[in-house]
Amino acid sequence: MDVEKLTADPAEQRLIAELLQAGQEHLFADWDPPGTNEEAKAAFRESLMHINRAYPDGLLGYIAKARKFLSEVREGENPFEGFEPHQPDKVDLTRFDADYDRYEALGKSHFEKTAVVLVAGGLGERLGYSGIKLDIPVEVTETVSYLAHYAACLKAMETRMNTPHPVPFIIMTSADTHAKTVASLEANSRFGLKEEQIHILKQEPVPAIADNDGHLALKEKYKLILKPHGHGDIHMLLHSSGLAAELEKQGIEHLVFIQDTNGQVFNAIPAALGVSVEKGFDFNSLGVNRIPGEAVGGLARLVKGDREMTLNVEYHQLDPLLRATVSPEGDVPDEQGFSMFPGNINVLLIRLAPYVKILERTRGVIAEFINPKYTDETKTTFKKPTRLETLMQDLPKFFGPDEKVGVSIFDRKWCFSANKNNVADAAAKHAAGSPPESGATAESDFYLAGRMKLAAAGMEVTPAEEQLILGIPFTPGPRVLLRPSFATTLDEVRSKISGGSISGEATLILDGKDIFLENVELPGPSALVIKACDGARVTVKNLKVENDGFELVKLTDEEQNSTATPEYLRIRGYRIENRGAAVYEFNEPGEYTL
Ligand code: UTP
């Protein structure tokens, strides 16, 4: 094939010549004669050049790696061969006790040296929401989106610092989410965050591979199939942007990695941060008690001779590993019904100093792998094109004996409740005994965390009975929203709330740093909403609130199926309507009593 006929550009010529040498002739076969379809050809050449620039090892490096990994998959190589799983170095934070308070206080004192990294480049295919997941309201009493909630958490961290400064906020987007994420931030004045604290890093897709020979897959003539490379790209981008090193220079010591739809995560971050600091963990994974067989990786310390590493073992690899080593029966429940190893929820706290060194060494290209689905056991053809992937939790594969990896275990619903599945799949998951992880369960758990905080402060909390809405469990109350501005730790909740009771479908919303409740009674469906600006100190004493509050209204079949109903309601099956909640807003500093 004559490269000069394909392009006049010398750089393009070089790349095409290399691709031809690497067996990629099919990309340029059947090209139209010169003068025909020149625009499409130019766009195709530019897409090859773009990938070649964006991928750290270049396009040829990518293809070579894909071939190597594919041959290893065919050989059936076991990455854990010879390793024996042991319990990781873990701290149990499933109970609110004195240790919990100590870790929270320590974590809170470390907010000044912490940055938050949000990976939000995922397609969200399972949820099938038409917008970005970050724009979905985490609750529909006041309709606050995930992005707004995360921003409020960062602002709350800032106001708890000795010398307040904005918490750096790094958001990873992709071609699928970038424009809408930027638009959402702009349309909402960045939810009160400062422009200079937000750093958006866009991940690039990678080309799909069609077969075991590593041929790049074409969607049509002059068009590659591109696929997401996975959330592990965040490491590469934090390196290539220079941001990780820059944050270290600014005095940041820990990065907290969070995901797009986990409204619970900031409940656990202060204590987890305290664990990272006290235990000196370079890599601290939030873990939960894992149900055997569930599609959640297990966190284990893998030991082989004098080598050891604490890693997330993907759920499909865990059972065979256990059978081959410590548990011939496989991934079976213990006396409490849990799997032997804690489950990974992929909330990670990474110490910046060793991280920057590892990024320099690896350029942030972390443990890529390939996971082709073959048509049969001969492993000759794929069901559909595959690609290299990378997962952010695999970073400890690059750790040596000096880096310390640990796990902080929390009550699952306190630290993790994602909105990943559409209503039909969520109902099916519930029927099968798995967490539904839907819009409704995420919202239900969001209120639950509020109830847990009230109960920890000694308020009497009587929950309403769980219902099924579209086959998905939902506890309709009390709906408690203690906004991040109100409290970042249990200790703060305790210092502001004492006595009182709340029951049934009552609602309590507190937004503001200086709101104090003493012996407040809220029988369902009564609702009390207090919003106080900075400097407004509001005390509510010996008050029984009685009104018609907010009502949970299930969508009719017609509403459920109508595109006139907002999509964020249809992904949960209900709306919440104000029937006369008591709402108090204090927009001027001062002392107020109710
Ligand atoms: P999920 O496992 O929820 O995957 O990602 P997803 O792609 O968003 O959703 P499905 O699988 O298509 O239904 C976990 C987190 O990682 C981010 C997601 O945005 C989410 O916060 N992610 C995932 C990325 O940032 N980039 C990726 O390439 C993949």
Rounded to whole angstroms, what are the CA distances from 353 to 251, 308, 540?
Answer: 10, 21, 46
| Closest ligand 1 atom to Cα of 418 | 3
Name the residue of 118, 123, 170 whose CB sits within 8 Å of the most ligand 1 atoms, as the mutation to test its pocket: 123
Residue 316, pLDDT score: 86
Mean pLDDT of 462-476: 98
Please say whether the beta carbons of 414 and 262 come within 8 A: no
Domain ranges for the chain: 3-54, 87-290+346-415, 438-593
Pocket of ligand 1 (CB under 6 A): 119-127, 172, 174, 203, 228-231, 259-260, 420
User: What's the gap in Å between 58 CA and the centre of ligand 1?
Assistant: 24
* pLDDT-based confidence at residue 19 (cuts at 50, 70, 90): very high
Instruction: Note the pLDDT tens digit of each residue in 42-63.
Output: 999 999 999 999 999 999 999 9
What's the CATH architecture for 438-593? 3 Solenoid (2.160)
Residue 123, pLDDT score: 85
**Is the pLDDT assigned to residue 343 strictly greater than 90?**
yes
Instruction: Note the pLDDT tens digit of each residue in 101-128.
Output: 999 999 999 999 999 999 999 988 899 8
* pLDDT-based confidence at residue 437 (cuts at 50, 70, 90): very high
Residue 77, pLDDT score: 80
Instruction: Note the pLDDT tens digit of each residue in 509-561.
Output: 999 999 999 999 999 999 999 999 999 999 999 999 999 999 999 999 999 99
CATH superfamily placement of domain 87-290+346-415: Spore Coat Polysaccharide Biosynthesis Protein SpsA; Chain A (3.90.550.10)
Residue 291, helix vs strand vs coil: coil
User: What's the gap in Å between 239 CA and the centre of ligand 1?
Assistant: 20
Distance CA 21, CA 63 (A): 12
Mean pLDDT of 432-445: 95
Residue 501: both structure tokens together: 């009771």
Least confident span in 214-223, 226-235, 315-324, 482-491:
315-324
**What percent of the chain lies above the pLDDT cut of 90?**
94
* pLDDT-based confidence at residue 1 (cuts at 50, 70, 90): confident
**Is the pLDDT assigned to residue 488 strictly greater than 90?**
yes
Distance CA 154, CA 511 (A): 15
**Is the pLDDT assigned to residue 138 strictly greater than 90?**
yes
Residue 76, pLDDT score: 83
The reported pTM is: 0.96
Instruction: Note the pLDDT tens digit of each residue in 262-275.
Output: 999 999 999 999 99
**Is the pLDDT assigned to residue 24 strictly greater than 90?**
yes
* Mean pLDDT of all residues belonging to the chain: 96
**Is the pLDDT assigned to residue 433 strictly greater than 90?**
no
**Is the pLDDT assigned to residue 86 strictly greater than 90?**
yes
Rounded to whole angstroms, what are the CA distances from 584 to 140, 506, 577?
Answer: 19, 16, 18
Name the residue of 204, 259, 265, 345 whose CB sits within 8 Å of the most ligand 1 atoms, as the mutation to test its pocket: 259
Contacts of residue 21, defined as CB under 8 A and 6 or more positions apart, other chains included, come to: none
Mean pLDDT of 67-87: 91
Q: Cα 66 to chain center, whole Å?
A: 27
